[in-house]
Amino acid sequence: MAIFGLPDGRRLIGRGPFTFAATRPDVDVAFYVNDFGLQAEKPWRIPGSWKVLQESEIPRAELPEIEWTTPDSANFARVFQEISHAIRQGVFEKTVPVSVEHGECLHGDPASFATAFAHVGDTKISYAWVDGNHGFAGATPELLFSLVGNTLHTMALAGTARREEREILAIDEKEIREHEYVAQSLVAKLAEMGNLTRQQRKILDLGPIVHFQTLIDVTLDEPTSIEALLKKLHPTPALGPLPRTKETMAMLLEWRNQLGCPAEFGAPFGLLYEGTFHSVVAIRGIWWKGRQVMLPAGCGVIEAGRMVNEWRELRLKREAVKAAISI
C-alpha cells in the first residue's frame, strides 16, 4: 500500500500488486520510492488499484503500543566530532547527521502508522509505503518539488525552534545562517533553469515546533524530466551536504549508516497524478521492520553548531512526530 497527500487536502491511496519501473511510466498514477542515495534500479511503483479519499473517509486504526529506547548519545557525539573536524578542515560548510530512536512493538500492527499519519493535515503532507511486514509513514512539512506544467515549486526549510521560542528564532544568527545556506544553494541551482521567484523568508508554524521557510518558484525555460529534477534537487542542503560532491555524499552516507539511519529517511517520496508530479522529503516519520520500530531525525551542523543544541533539536523533532499521532 502507498499513500500520498494531495495539495487539495485529499489522500491518494494505491494498493498492490505494484508493478515496478525504472523510468517514468505512461500511466495515470505512479508512486516514486527510493533510498537516500537514489540507488533503486526501479523506483517507480504502479499500483494495481487506487482511489482518492477525503481525510475523513480514511478509517482510523488502533495505534500500536511501542516501548521506546533512548538514542545513543555517545555514538552521535563521535560522529558530531568527526563532522566538526571536517568542517574546520574545509571539507563541508554544512552536513546533516541523523539520530535514530528505536522501539519495539509490544502490541498491535506497526502498519497502522500509515493510516494514522494520513490523518495529519494542515501544513504537513502525509506519505506512506507498506510492503509486507516493513514500511514507513510520516507527515512531512518539506516539499522537495512539485512540477505542474512547466512550473517548478520548491522550498527551503531549515532552522528549528520550539513554538514558544518563535521570537528568538526570528533573530537567531545561527539558525538564519543555516536556513540561508539552504535557500541560497537552491537559488544557485535553479536560477539557470528559468525565471526564478524567491519569496521572503517566513516562519512556518507546525504546532510544537516552528521552522524558517522560503518558497521558490521557477518557470522552466525547457522541458525537464522528473528524474533529472530529482537528481538535481536531492538532497537539498537541508538534508544533505554542502557542498554536494561525490566525496561529501559518501561521507554522509557512511555516517548515516554508522548511526543506523533507515535508507529511505530524507529520500524523495513522490506521486505522479493527472500529469503532475509532487515529491516530498521523507522526514518526520516512523520506519518499521517486523516488530522493530525506528524514529529518525536529522540536524544541520555548521561551524557554529554545538553538540548540546543539536541533541536538543533532535529530541524536539522526534517529540513532534510522536505528538502528531499521539503515541
Nearest 5°: CA angle at 178, between 96 and 170? 135
Whether residue 271 contacts residue 125, with contact meaning beta carbons closer than 8 Å, is answered with: no
228-265: pLDDT as tens digits:
999 999 998 889 998 999 999 999 999 999 999 999 99
Alpha-carbon distance of 174 to 313, in angstroms, equals: 13
Torsional sign, CA 31, 36, 42, 48: negative
pLDDT number for residue 114:
97
Grid-cell match 560532491, residue found:
245
Domains along the chain with CATH numbers: 2-56+67-325 (3.60.120.10)
The pLDDT tens digits of the residues spanning 81-131 come to 999 999 999 999 999 999 999 999 999 999 999 999 999 977 799 999 999
Q: β-strand 285-289 against 292-298: which pairing, if any?
A: antiparallel
Q: Extract the C-alpha cell encoding 71.
A: 538514542
- pTM for the model stands at 0.94
Question: CA 108, 264, 18 angle in degrees (round to 5)?
Answer: 75
Between residues 26 and 237, which one has the greater pLDDT?
26
Amino acid, res. 252: L
SS3 state at 302 = coil
